[in-house]
């Protein structure tokens, strides 16, 4: 599915939701389960700092992970004062594809591939009813992501290709904005945009020929998803 197809599906889904029966009423309170799928972009602002040369050969580069995301969530929501929604949610998503960077000519370069493999969010979810069957909401909380980085560099005076691999769990801030449409009292659909920021992440130092480099990246991501929710 291309991004163009995704946005067409999103437009059709939201149009259908707005045109659906206005008789569906938001459930007063209770648990729910949901599933979503959509587009995902991981962003990595690399900094490679030369620790050896007198005239440093530092490198800064930004790369993106363009992929897809799909996930499940469980949550609780309560209607307060017949207008406001208060709740919490725990969700997990799998994220696809990777980002890569190569420095210099292919015979003398180091290459770096990085990706967010999955992320888990725990968020507070306040919202407000716009009509009896339509609500908008915010998500604010924490996120934990699985980050994989694979760097290959020619090391030493007689260069030998060396791999520097890292898998780590990182934590950060999660935020989202969405709109949900109740089709029935127990079933709703939603569209949502999300943002995650994991701050600066440090990786192991590596050698490029005789120079030693530190290796770090500012990691953040954004996505847009469509989903459906069943209210217990």
Is the model more confident about 9 or about 111? 111
How far is the C-alpha of 140 from the C-alpha of 133, rounded, in Å? Answer: 23
| Under 8 Å between Cβ of 203 and 212 | no
**In percent, how much of the chain has pLDDT > 90?**
70
The H or E element that residue 93 is part of is strand 84-95
Query: For the segment 168-211, what is each residue's pLDDT rounded down to a tens digit?
Result: 999 999 999 999 999 988 999 999 999 999 999 999 999 988 88
pTM of the model: 0.86
How far is the C-alpha of 94 from the C-alpha of 82, rounded, in Å? Answer: 35
Q: How far is CA 44 from CA 31, 114, 177, 222, in A?
A: 36, 8, 23, 12
Query: For the segment 75-90, what is each residue's pLDDT rounded down to a tens digit?
Result: 999 999 889 999 999 9
Three-class SS of residue 27? coil
Three-class SS of residue 16? helix
Average pLDDT, the chain: 88
Beta bridge partners of 113: 100, 150
pLDDT (average), residues 9-36: 64
Q: Lowest mean pLDDT: which of 26-30, 44-48, 204-208? A: 26-30
Question: CATH assignment of 3-231?
Answer: 2.40.160.20
Say what the pLDDT of residue 22 is.
46
Q: How far is CA 161 from CA 106, 158, 202, in A?
A: 12, 10, 22
Q: How confident is the model at residue 61 (pLDDT cuts 50, 70, 90)?
A: very high
Q: Lowest mean pLDDT: which of 43-52, 136-145, 155-164, 218-227? A: 155-164
């Amino acid at each position: 599915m291309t991004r163009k197809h995704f946005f067409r599906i999103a437009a059709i889904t939201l149009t259908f939701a707005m045109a659906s029966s206005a008789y569906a009423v938001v459930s007063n309170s209770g648990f729910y389960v949901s599933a979503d799928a959509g587009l995902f972009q991981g962003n990595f602002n690399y900094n490679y700092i030369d620790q050896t040369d007198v005239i440093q050969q530092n490198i800064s580069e930004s790369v993106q992970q363009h992929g897809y995301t799909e996930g499940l969530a469980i949550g609780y929501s309560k209607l307060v004062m017949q207008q406001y929604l208060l709740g919490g949610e725990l969700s997990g998503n799998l994220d696809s594809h990777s980002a890569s960077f190569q420095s210099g000519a292919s015979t003398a370069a180091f290459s770096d591939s990085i990706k967010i493999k999955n992320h888990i969010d725990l968020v507070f979810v306040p919202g407000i009813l716009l009509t009896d069957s339509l609500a908008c909401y915010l998500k604010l909380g924490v996120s934990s992501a699985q980050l994989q980085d694979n760097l290959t560099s020619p090391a030493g005076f007689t260069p030998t290709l060396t791999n520097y691999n890292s898998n780590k769990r990182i934590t950060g801030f999660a935020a989202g904005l969405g709109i949900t449409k109740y089709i029935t009292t127990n079933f709703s659909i939603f569209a949502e945009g999300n943002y995650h920021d994991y701050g600066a992440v440090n990786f192991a130092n590596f050698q490029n020929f005789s120079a030693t480099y530190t290796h770090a990246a500012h990691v953040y991501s954004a996505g847009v998803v469509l989903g459906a929710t069943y209210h217990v």
